Chains A and B, each alone.
Chain A
Amino acid sequence: MLEGKKVIIIGDRDGIPAPAIEECVKTAGAEVVFASTECFV
């Protein structure tokens, strides 16, 4: 599903942080163009 796609990741500090999502989508063949974890509290 993500093979060859460009991905922007916004992680959540109290949910799934960006580096964890990044590792997952990379294994699915996506190119991460931006990844950042944000704090909403």
Chain B
Amino acid sequence: MTTPVVKGAAYVLVHTPDMVMHYGTTCSSEHEANPNSEFLKKVPSHLRTFEEAVKYAPNQAYIGNILPDELNNIPRPWYKNLMEDAKADGKMGEMLSQDELYIVMKLCDAFDLVMLEKSFSDAAKEKISKKPYFTEAEIAKIKDGFDISEIESKLAEGAEPLHYNGKVVGCVKAAHATDKSLTAHIMAENIATKATAVIATKNLLYKNNISPDSIEYVIECSEEACGDMNQRGGGNFAKAIAEVAGLVSATGSDTRGFCAAPTHALINAAAMVKSGLYKSVAVVAGGATAKLGMNGRDHVNKDVPILEDCLGAFAILVTEDDGVNPVLRTDIVGRHTVGTGSSPQAVMESIITKPLDKNGLKITDIDKYSVEMQNPEITEPAGAGDVPLANYKMIAALGAKRGDIDKANMPTFIKEHGMPGFAPTQGHIPSGVPFVGAARSMILDGKINRAMIVGKGSLFLGRMTNLFDGVSIVMEKNPGKAEEMGAVSKEEIKGMVAETMKEFAAFLLNRK
């Protein structure tokens, strides 16, 4: 039986300031309730430029140009202390602008629902064609743009507008005249999810030199659901994304579980590879337009830039053991069960300490915990505090209670085994998975041996249960060489046995 490894990870951010205004639920709800509100008037002046978003240190951590720990060396507020030498191209991904997203949405548009104005479309097509991961054939598939009058006509019929620098440059039409699951708004949300996931998948392949046809299965774990009125969450984003990304050998399916979905998907992928079902499984997710500017009201009130101005996406590849990449320990998996209860201590014990106890490990045996990695600069102005720090305090407290660490050493433990939050509040995006790529690098570089990836989800938001959810899995340094030595030793033993038998036979013959 093979061991699953993390072969690569890619992280993408798309700066979408106009979508904050028109697709984020905070702003769009305000548009409906109070279109002339002071908040809405102030939003444009609180939006960042693409360059400012690129130079924002947490974003650089997300796309892999700095390690999350390096944020400790940059004074806060990070939005005032920009990284002047920052680049949109990342070691593990990239940042894109809104025009690039819209043209990839057109590339992902299987039913001619996306209409872009001709000159905008031509310019964006030219821009995206420079991306090394899109082939000429793929770019050629992007259909021509439209006259603005045609777009205006569709907007009058209820299409959703696509803005760029405050101007309408396109629209997304409804996919059905009456189906409430295929409205223009839902189609725009879903096509944006698909497009951002495609970009992340393309980055995963390109930056890790992975052949698209080597991937056998895709697990998609975004926040949205696609389907029609007869099966509202019927799916299947995974196969739709795989098709555009050129994963010709793959099938796939969608996994949902609010913010916990990506860690569930990672565990599922590891189990699929471990069982031998598939050799190569990609876990992918696109961005959630609804969450853009979610805390924008508080940001504006406190005169902080609207920091939730990017869609987040990621793609992680789990494959058979290559003897090099970090392994996913399917035997060190935590889960919040139905019977766990809801007290914070019970939740953390089930996710963190129970799997460690089962394997004879202490809390300090995990070098880095990747919990809810929301950027605190986004959540603190809204009163939600520093979420990763709250998680680390709970883990440290559990450690002190168990005697794994001294109570006085809790702050040191938090600093060494935690890290600052750096992920955008896109729901599923911050939950455990944003550190998988950095953990892989740190393990390969010998900086750490083990990381625990923790995903938590607010199931009660779906109003089907009051239950919370959480799962975890451990990533660990690959003991490849030791295994290899073991395999060689077996061969050597066989040789030694054969040699001994040969000698014994010769001894018997000589005795005669």
Contacts and interface: CB of A to CB of B under 8 A. Distances in A.
B460 A14 contact: no
Interface string B468-492: 1000000000000000000000000
Given A14-B390, A16-B344, A40 B460 contact: no
Given A17-B468, A18-B466, A40 B384 contact: yes
B374 interface: yes
Contacts of B341: 20
A21 to B, nearest CB: 10
Contacts of B461: 39
B420 to A, nearest CB: 15
Nearest to B390: A14
Nearest to B346: A20
B296 to A, nearest CB: 14
Contacts of A15: 344, 390
B430 interface: yes
A40 B382 contact: yes
Given A40-B383, A41-B379, A13 B458 contact: yes
A29 interface: no
Given A14-B384, A15-B344, A37-B458, 17 more contacts: A13-B456, A13-B458, A13-B460, A13-B468, A14-B372, A14-B385, A14-B387, A14-B390, A17-B342, A17-B344, A19-B466, A37-B468, A41-B259, A41-B372, A41-B379, A41-B384, A41-B387
B218 to A, nearest CB: 27
Contacts of B427: 41
Which of the four size classes fits the interface of chain A?
Answer: 10 to 19
Given A39-B461, A40-B384, A14 B343 contact: no
B344 A37 contact: no
Contacts of A14: 372, 384-385, 387, 390-391
Contacts of A39: 458, 461
A21 B181 CA distance: 37
Interface of A: 12-20, 36-37, 39-41
Interface of B: 259, 341-344, 372, 374, 379, 382-385, 387, 390-391, 425, 427, 430, 456, 458, 460-461, 466, 468
Contacts of A20: 341-344
Contacts of A37: 342, 458, 460, 466, 468
List of 6 A-B pairs having minimum Cβ-Cβ separation, nearest first:
A39-B458, A40-B384, A19-B342, A17-B342, A13-B458, A20-B343
A15 B390 CA distance: 8
A33 to B, nearest CB: 16
B256 to A, nearest CB: 15
